[in-house]
Structure 1
């Protein structure tokens, strides 16, 4: 994946997450970092360009890294766990949908 393709996918994901979460929790996207304030604490979702990954810091599940899977069109856990949207939806109690475009 090229740098520009990663940036496009990551920016689309973060903007979509901010919009989807804003009605349920305090979510703010600034400089490629999405900060989400929920009942259990603070979630940080950010893009990590050197590895072309999305990184999550969660007060519930800890730190996780996600790489884009072209087959599913989703960000998948690099250690084989659930995808990013599944984790965030479960932990925040919000339905989340995003598809690569």
Structure 2
């Protein structure tokens, strides 16, 4: 889906804020920080996850100590972030990696 930079930035920021709020609520062992489009999630027994917006590609990137590196692009409806290498959804990958349920962000 081709979206302009302003739309991408707003959608990505909303998604990162949603992820931070959901993870803080569901995973008491996680220490989350969102700064300048980069969400850092530190989990004592797992490691550090980094979720960031990547403006040049209009994607959200995930670096996970469990599942590795991921790139997610907005789907056609603009409500979900879907892996560029398959059909995995960002919240589903993070849910599996963290072992908690992270609901999809509201469109």
Q: How far apart are the structure 2 equivalents of 1:12 and 1:71?
A: 15
Of 1, 21, 24, the residue aligned with 1:22 is 24
Q: What corresponds to 1:69 in structure 2?
A: 75
Segments of structure 1 that go 5 or more residues without pairing to the other structure are none
Tell me how far 1:94 sits from its aligned partner: 1.8
Using the size of structure 2 for normalisation, the TM-score is 0.87
Q: How far apart are the structure 2 equivalents of 1:41 and 1:15?
A: 20
Q: How far apart are the structure 2 equivalents of 1:79 and 1:47?
A: 17
Tell me the SS of whatever aligns to 1:94.
coil
Of 29, 45, 55, the residue aligned with 2:61 is 55
Residue 6, structure 1, aligned to residue 8, structure 2: yes
Tell me how far 1:70 sits from its aligned partner: 2.2
Root-mean-square deviation (CA), in Å? 1.3
Bigger mean CA deviation after superposition, 56-65 or 15-24: 15-24
Structure 1 moving runs of 4+ over 4 Å: none
Give aligned pairs, total: 100
Segments of structure 2 that go 5 or more residues without pairing to the other structure are none
Can you list the C-alpha shifts for 1:28-73, whole angstroms capped at 9, x where unaligned? Answer: 1011100001221110000000000000000011111000002472
